[in-house]
């Protein structure tokens, strides 16, 4: 293999853009606005965002405003909040 392909595989280069992000740990990575994250074969969506809420009405209003998906997390013991909204901030209305 070539140097670039080895760098993509070991995490030296960003797996999506090919940009140099530092010495690799041995697995593919991507650089986001929230830091450098492991890349999991196309499952990582850089456009999706999640906002957490404790108030159901506020979460539903926000979901309607941004055309997002409302998630009820009350049954999840690991959840930090009761509700969340997953949305795409770059999505254009149309």
CB atoms within 10 A of CB 94: 3
* Total domains, the chain: 2
The pLDDT-based confidence of 94 (bands split at 50, 70, 90) is very low
Same domain? For 31 and 60 the reply is no
- Answer with the residue of higher pLDDT: 34 or 26: 26
In a domain, 34, yes or no: yes
In a domain, 92, yes or no: no
In a domain, 15, yes or no: yes
Q: CA 36, 40, 41, 43 torsion: positive or negative? A: negative
The pLDDT-based confidence of 45 (bands split at 50, 70, 90) is low
In a domain, 44, yes or no: no
Domain that holds residue 67: 49-87
**DSSP per residue, 5-71:** HHHHHHTSBBTTT--B-SS--SS-EEEETTEEEE--TT---TT-EEEEES-HHHHHHHHHHHT-EEE
Please tell me the predicted confidence (pLDDT) of residue 28.
85
Same domain? For 28 and 8 the reply is yes
Q: Are 39 and 9 in contact (CB under 8 A)?
A: no
Please tell me the predicted confidence (pLDDT) of residue 4.
85
Query: If you average pLDDT over every residue of the chain, what do you get?
Result: 82
Query: Mean pLDDT across the stretch 34-46?
Result: 66
Same domain? For 54 and 26 the reply is no
The structure's pTM equals 0.47
Same domain? For 26 and 55 the reply is no
Same domain? For 30 and 56 the reply is no
């Amino acid at each position: 293999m070539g140097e670039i392909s080895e760098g993509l595989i070991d995490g030296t280069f960003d797996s999506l853009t090919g940009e140099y992000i530092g010495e690799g740990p041995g697995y593919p990575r991507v650089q986001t606005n929230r830091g450098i994250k492991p890349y999991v074969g196309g499952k990582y969506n850089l456009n999706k965002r999640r906002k957490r809420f404790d108030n159901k009405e506020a979460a539903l209003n926000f979901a309607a405003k941004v055309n997002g998906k409302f998630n009820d997390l009350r049954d999840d013991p690991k959840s930090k909040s009761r509700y969340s909204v997953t949305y795409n901030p770059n999505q254009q209305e149309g």
